[in-house]
Amino acid sequence: MKGPSSLRRAWSFLARSCWPVLPLALLILTAGFFVQWSVDANLEMPKGHLLRISTCLLFLGTAFLLSANRWRNSAFVAYGLTLAPLLWVLIAGRATHGSRRWIDLFGGFKLQPSEFMKVIVVLALARWFADHPKPRKLMDCWGPALLAGIPFLLILVEPDLGTSLVLVPVFLTMVWMAGLPWRSFRWLLLLPAILAPLVWPAIQDYQKERILTWWHQDNLSPEEIADSGFHLHHSKLAVGSGGLTGFGFGQGPENRLDRLPERHNDFVFPVIAEEYGFLGATAFLVLYFSLGICLLAYAARYRDPFPRFYLAGTGVHFLVHLILNVGVT
C-alpha cells in the first residue's frame, strides 16, 4: 500500500505545484549555456557561466527547502540587506564604460547588486500587498511605491536605464493585481508619461543617443550606421542573415567578427537568431514566453496572496526582460 500511496501523494504535489516551471527553467539554462559557449572568442567551455548556473541551482535548492511563510517573514530583511550593496556600488563600485554597476569580489569575481534587487523588490512588494490587501486609493500605495521607487532611482543613477525600467511594469502589475480601482490605477499608468520629461535630462548622453537611434532606425544615414547605429545595424544583419536554420554553433559571421557588443548578455538574441535561424530563435522565444505565462497562470490558482503576488511579479519580470532585450536588438 505504501507504493500507491506515495505515488498518489507525489501526483497530488505535482498537481498543486508549479512543476512546469522547473523543466522550462532548466531548458533555458541549458540553451543559455551553449549560447555562452558559442560567443567565446576561442569557443572554449564557459567555466565562469557554468559556475553561475551552479550557484543558481544552489539557490533553487535553498528556496525549495524554505517555506513560503519563511520567505514572507524575511522579505523586508532581505530588502534591506540587498539595498546596502546597491548603495555601496555607487560609492565604491567598479566603473566600466562610465557606469558603476559592479562590486569586485575575491578571485576576479564581480557582483551586480541591481540583479539581486529586482528579485527582492518583487518579494518585498508581495509581502506588502499580502499585508495590506485591496488598496482603494492612490495614497494606499505609498509603501510599495517607495519599495520600488528607491531602487529605481539608485539603479537609474548608476546609470542603468534598462534594469531600472524593469521595475516599472512589475510595480504596476502587482498594484493592479492587488485590486486598486481603475479610477485610481489609470493615474499610475499616466505617471511614466508624466515623469518621462523629468527623467530625460537625468539620463546620460549615450543613453539618449541609443534611444533616438532606435526610434528612427529605419532612416539611419550612412554616418549614423558607422557610428551610433553601428551595433543596431549589425544586430539586425545577424537576425536577418540566420535564415531558417542558421549558420550553426559558433559559426555566425557577426558573432565571429565581434560586431555585436556585449553579445554574451545585451545582444545575445542576435547570436541565437544568426546561429540557429528562425526555428532556433522562435524556440527560444516560446520557451521564455512560456516561463512567464506559466508563472502568471499558476499565480491565479493561489488563494494565499503572498505566493500569488510573488509568482505574478516574477512572471512579469521575465516577460519584461524578454520584450526589452529582444526589442532593443
Model confidence over 127-170: pLDDT tens digits?
Answer: 999 999 889 998 999 999 999 999 999 998 888 888 888 999 99
pLDDT, tens only, 67-110: 888 999 999 999 999 999 999 988 887 777 667 788 887 766 77
Are 241 and 321 part of one and the same domain? yes
Rounded Cα–Cα distance for residues 235 and 270 (Å): 6
Judged by DSSP in three states, 250 sits in coil
Are 50 and 122 members of one domain?
no
- Which of 139, 174, 201 finishes a domain? 201
pLDDT at position 97, please?
66
User: Which of these three, 185, 201, 217, is where a domain ends?
Assistant: 201
Residue 1 pLDDT > 50, yes or no? no
Q: Tell me: do 322 and 216 sit in the same domain.
A: yes
Would you state the pLDDT for residue 165? 87
Statement to judge: residues 177 and 277 lie in one domain: no
**Residue 177 sits in the same domain as residue 236:** no
Identify whether 232 is part of a domain: yes
DSSP for 39-82 reads HSTT----HHHHHHHHHHHHHHHHHHHS-HHHHHHHHHHHHHHH
Is it the case that residue 118 has pLDDT exceeding 80? yes
Quote the mean pLDDT of the chain. 86
Q: Which of 189, 199, 190, 194 is nearest to 155 (CA)?
A: 199
Check residue 3 and give its pLDDT.
Answer: 54
Q: Are 155 and 117 in contact (CB under 8 A)?
A: yes
Cell matching residue 37? 559557449
Instruction: Quote the domain boundaries for residue 232.
Output: 20-65+204-329
Provide the domain count of the chain: 2
Is 1 within the bounds of a domain?
no
Q: Are residues 75 and 188 in the same domain?
A: yes
What are the helix (H) ranges across the chain? 2-16, 21-39, 47-65, 68-92, 113-131, 142-156, 161-178, 182-199, 205-215, 222-226, 230-241, 253-256, 268-299, 305-327
How many angstroms separate the CA atoms of 277 and 270, rounded?
10
